[in-house]
Amino acid sequence: MSGNMNLTLKIWRQKNNKAKGELVNYKVADISPDMSFLEMFDVLNEQLITKGDEPVAFDHDCREGICGICSMHINGRPHGPKHGITTCQLHMRSFKDGDTIVVEPWRAQAFPVIKDLAVDRSAFDRIIAAGGYVSVNTGNAQDGNTLPVPKTDADMAFAAAACIGCGACVAACKNASAMLFVSAKVNQLAHLPQGQPERMERVRAMVAQMDKEGFGSCTNTGACEAECPKEISLVNIAAMNRDYLRANLLDSEG
C-alpha cells in the first residue's frame, strides 16, 4: 500500500535483570501509518517468532491509554514524540519512511529492567502501600451536598487522580525523581474530606518510602509535567512540599 513505511529499529535487548544488555538493530517493512506503535512491535515480534528468534519483551495491556503499563523510551522521550499520550496511543503516522527509531526501557535505579523493555515498577506500589489510601471504609457515595467539597478542591483532586502510574515522570526526569507521581497520589486525597484524618502521616510516609526506593530528588526542571500522558501539573509537587513542611513542622506526632 502507498504510504506504508520501512523502518530501522534500535531496540534494547537484555536477557534478564543480571545480564548485560545492548541495542540491537531490526528492520520492519510495509508498516501502515495507521498502526499504533505497539502494533508495529507485534509485527516485529511475529517476524522474530517466525524466524525462531526470541521476541522482544515489552509491557502492554489495555492499549487505550488508561492502564499505564506500556512504557518505552522512544527516540529520547518517554512514550515517544507526541504530547499527552501513552505509547499505545502513539501512531506510526508520527514517523517517516526510512526513519531509525531508538527504543529503550525506563532508566532508573528504582525501576530495574526485568527483560528487554519491561521494567519492574513495583516501587510505585510500595509507595502507595505506605499511605496512599484512606484506612477506613468510606461507604457508598454520599447524598448530594451532605459532604460539601469546594469545586476547586474537587477539580484538583480529580486532576491528580488521573495519574495512571506509568512512570514517564521518572523516565523523563534527569534525576529519575518520582515527585510528580507521589505528589499526584498525595493530592488526590489531600483535598477531599475523606483524606483529611491521615493527611499529615500520609505525606510523610509516602515521601519516606519514595526516598527509600532510591528515586532522585526534584530539581524542578518540569520535564515530568511535559512528558506526563495525563498532564499532571507541577502544582501538585508544590502542594505536596507545603504539606510535607507542615507535617514536619507542626504535626504534634513529631
Backbone angles phi, psi at 20, to 5 degrees: -85, 130
> For another protein, which residue of 1, 136, 141, 249 counts as binding (CB under 8 A)?
249
Choose between 83 and 142: whose C-beta lies nearer to another protein.
83
Beta pairing partners, 104: 73
Helix or strand run (H / E) with residue 6: strand 5-13
AA letter at 93? R
| Helix 179-190 with 235-250: angle, nearest 10 deg | 70
Rounded distance, CA 206 to CA 123, Å? Answer: 11
Q: Is the dihedral of CA 190, 196, 201, 202 positive or negative?
A: negative
Of 6, 30, 107, 193, which one interacts with another protein (CB under 8 A)? Answer: 107
Using CB under 8 A as the binding criterion, the count of chain residues that bind another protein stands at 48
Site for another protein, residues 169 to 188, rule: CB under 8 A: 172, 174-177
Q: Would you list the DSSP string of 37-57?
A: HHHHHHHHHHHHHHTTPPPPP
Site for another protein in 110-139 (CB under 8 A): 110
Q: Is 84 in the site for another protein (CB under 8 A)?
A: no
**Residue 196 CB, nearest approach to another protein (Å):** 18
Write down the residue that cell numbers 532508573 correspond to.
108
Instruction: Name all contacts of 32-36 with Cβ < 8 Å and 24+ positions apart.
Output: 32/1, 32/3, 32/4, 32/92, 33/3, 33/4, 33/5, 33/91, 33/92, 33/93, 34/91, 34/92, 34/93, 35/91, 35/92, 36/63, 36/88, 36/89, 36/90, 36/91, 36/92
For another protein, give the closer residue by CB, 31 or 234: 234
Among 4, 77, 134, 161, binds another protein (CB under 8 A): 77
Instruction: Please report whether residue 94 would count as binding another protein according to CB under 8 A.
Output: no
Q: Please identify, using beta-carbon distances, which residue of 129 and 238 lies nearer to another protein.
A: 238
Pick between residue 21 and residue 144 the one whose CB is nearest to another protein.
Answer: 21
- CB under 8 A: which stretch of 40-48, 106-114, 127-135, 186-194 binds another protein? 106-114
Q: Which is nearer to another protein, 49 or 238 (CB)?
A: 238
Our finding on whether 254 is near another protein (CB under 8 A) is: yes
Site for another protein in 141-170 (CB under 8 A): none
| Grid cell locating 4 | 506504508
By the criterion CB under 8 A, which residues form the site for another protein?
10, 12, 23, 73, 75-77, 81, 102, 104, 107-110, 172, 174-177, 207-208, 210-211, 214-223, 226-227, 234-235, 237-242, 244-245, 248-249, 254
